[in-house]
Every structure is written in structure tokens, then in C-alpha cells.
Amino acid sequence: MKRQSLAAVLLALTFAFHGGEAASQTGEAYPTRPVKIVVTLAAGGSSDIISRLFAQKLSDQLKQPFLVENRPGAQSIIGADHVAKSAPDGYTLLSANTSILTIHPSLYSKLPYDPQRDFAPISMLVRQGTVLVAVSSLPVRSVKELIALARAEPGKLNYATPGNATPFHLTGELLKSQAGIEWVHVPYKGFTPAFADLLTGRVQTTIMPVLDVLPHVKSGKLRPLVYTGFERHALLPDVPTTAEAGIKNAESISFFALVAPRGTPREIIARLNAEITKIKAEPDVRRRLRQEFGVEVGMDSLEGFEAFLREEVVKWAKVVKASGIKVE
């Protein structure tokens, strides 16, 4: 009897140990301690504030702190590399932007990580297209008229961006290629000087986030011509998308996403994806994101997001190669 009792106890302990291990592996017990979310830009910017919004919501839902840690530097490479080399246990995550996940592989030959190999997507948090605007003195009222003018006067039209090799620069090169026009890129060091020269007519057009140009559109100083999202923007409902304007395959989406080191248990990824999907469904969250940041919530499907990332890497690689863009 004693041997049977001992055997029963050992069996129960073995089951309890492996059962607990299984629970942790399936994500049911996750998280059991604080989770760090690395943001690759400085505190106070839109990526930081949006990341903190989701972090607080996750903390409330999962009953463990989700803490934002800012690791800026080297065009976001420092923070991204830190997460890529972290333990794949679900306790170090990355708030990643478009450049980290889809553009950097084509721009940097010695990138210390491979986004496709080293990161496991969790969820696209938010997304937005950009809007092409022209200074009001330019005699065009639509993107079709802009294209016609560019073809009539090759090399005379230009567009300003906040910098070389930025997503805005790549978007301009994509539009130029798909529209079949000559369009001179004028890079600036940030949004402020680009806007200053645009509003004084030194440059003619620019590609920017909707919220940045909206005040100038309302004042009549800038004229919106086309939006690069898949559907029209809620704040500029009369502005057509590139597809509606007849420019095929010219969509350009910027996004923030949550990713984990590759090898993180799939069950943890699925748990986080499900919780974030709940957050994105909240009307107050959607309203705040649109009104304060001009962004919409990202797609919910994990498989769809993974496929989107693969397609974007290929798309931007073609743009970089065709345009000859190089990092300065």
C-alpha cells in the first residue's frame, strides 16, 4: 500500500509539474511578471504615446504591468537589435514601425538583425496612409492634373520630405514610378523646414501624415490631391485614394506594430493578439487614435499581418533598388 501511495504521489507531482509547464507554454498563465515594451524613439512622440496607450490597456486586462522603455538611436536599430537578441519568452516586446520591419533590410547592408527571421509579429496596432498635397498656387486641382503637368514639363515639379530614405521619400518614389513621371525629391532635415519652404512656394508638393497638413488644408494654403491608404481617410473624406485616382499599386501604409523575438511560444503570441484585438475594438480607443494621431487601428488577423509584412519587404526592396536610394 505504501509503495502504491508513494507511486501515486509521484505520479501526481509529475502531472502537476508538467501540467503547470504546459499551462505556461500554452500562454494560459502568461504573464506572471512585468512585460517590457521597447520603443525605439524618444519619449513624447506619437509612437511613444500610442505604445503607452496599448501598454496600459494590456496591463489592465492581463493584471501585470506592461512597461514602456525608450531605446532611441541609430534610426531605431539600437532598440530593435536589443529585442531581437532578447529571450523569446514573451517578456520583452518591441513596438516596431514601418522602417524597422519592412524598409531597413533594403537600406542597410549590415543590419544586425533580419526582421523576417528574428521577429515574430503579434499585432498591427495602428496604420495610416499619407496625403500628397500641393501648394495652392500650383495650377492643379487633382492628382491627374499634377501628373499631366509633370509630363508636360518633365523635371520641373518637385516634392519635399522630412529626409532622405524616410518612408515619405520612398512613398514619393513609389508614386513617381507608378505614375510614370519625373518628380524631383527635395529632402529636408525634419518636417518644420519642409513645411516652411512649401508654404512659401519654394517647393511645390509634399507627402505627409494627414494631421500634419490638415490645418494648412483648412486654411486653403495647401490642396490635398490623393491619399495613399487602401481606403479614404476619415478626416479627408473627399480626397481619393491612389487606386481611385487611377494610380495602380501605389498604396503606402505606415504602421506601428507589436512584435516579439522569434521563437516566442505561439500560444503567447496568440494570447497577446487576442487581447490587443479587444483593445482595438473599443470605440473610445478608435476615436482617440483618429482624432489625436490621425491613425486607424491595424488589421486584427495575425496571418494577414504576417503576409502583409512579407509583401511590403518585397515592395520596398524594389523601390529602393529602382530609385537608387541610399542612406546618408
pLDDT in tens, 76-90: 999 999 999 999 999
- Per residue in 236-274, is it b (16+ CB within 10 Å) or e — as a string? beebbbbbebebeebbbbbbbbbbbbbebbebbbebbbe
* Region of 120 on the Ramachandran plot (φ > 0 left; ψ -120 to 50 alpha; else beta): beta
Cα angle 248, 308, 327; round to 5 = 80
Task: Please check the confidence at residue 13 and state whether its pLDDT lies above 50.
Answer: no
Which residue reads 498635397 in cell numbers?
133
**How high is the pLDDT of residue 3?**
45
**127 three-state secondary structure:** strand
**How high is the pLDDT of residue 8?**
45
**How high is the pLDDT of residue 15?**
43
pLDDT band at residue 56 under the 50/70/90 scheme: very high
pLDDT digits (tens, 9 = 90+) for 289-299: 999 999 999 99
Nearest to 111 by CA among 146, 144, 92, 84: 84
Task: Please check the confidence at residue 25 and state whether its pLDDT lies above 70.
Answer: no
Say if CB 88 and CB 55 are below 8 A apart: no
Instruction: Find the mean pLDDT for residues 10-18.
Output: 43
**How high is the pLDDT of residue 21?**
46
Nearest to 179 by CA among 222, 125, 228: 228
What pairing do the DSSP bridges indicate for beta strands 92-97 and 158-161?
unpaired
Task: Please check the confidence at residue 191 and state whether its pLDDT lies above 60.
Answer: yes
Global pTM reads 0.88
pLDDT band at residue 209 under the 50/70/90 scheme: very high
Q: How far apart are CA 295 and CA 50, in angstroms?
A: 10
Task: Please check the confidence at residue 97 and state whether its pLDDT lies above 60.
Answer: yes
Instruction: Find the mean pLDDT for residues 52-69.
Output: 98
| Mean pLDDT, rounded, of the chain | 92
CB atoms within 10 A of CB 190: 9
Task: Please check the confidence at residue 210 and state whether its pLDDT lies above 70.
Answer: yes
Q: How far apart are CA 27 and CA 22, in angstroms?
A: 9
Domains (ranges, CATH) in the chain?
34-127+254-323 (3.40.190.150), 131-227 (3.40.190.10)
**How high is the pLDDT of residue 7?**
45
Cα angle 109, 265, 43; round to 5 = 55
Share of the chain above pLDDT 90, in %: 89
pLDDT band at residue 327 under the 50/70/90 scheme: confident
Share of the chain above pLDDT 70, in %: 91
More confident residue, 15 or 199: 199
Task: Please check the confidence at residue 222 and state whether its pLDDT lies above 90.
Answer: yes
pLDDT digits (tens, 9 = 90+) for 148-176: 999 999 999 999 999 999 999 999 999 99
pLDDT band at residue 202 under the 50/70/90 scheme: very high
CB atoms within 10 A of CB 121: 22
Say if CB 299 and CB 308 are below 8 A apart: yes
Task: Please check the confidence at residue 2 and state whether its pLDDT lies above 50.
Answer: no
| Range from 6-15, 44-53, 223-232 carrying the lowest mean pLDDT | 6-15
Task: Please check the confidence at residue 263 and state whether its pLDDT lies above 70.
Answer: yes
Task: Please check the confidence at residue 183 and state whether its pLDDT lies above 90.
Answer: yes
Give the CA radius of gyration of the chain. 23
User: Per DSSP, what are the bridge partners of residue 70?
Assistant: 39
**How high is the pLDDT of residue 1?**
44
Task: Please check the confidence at residue 144 and state whether its pLDDT lies above 70.
Answer: yes
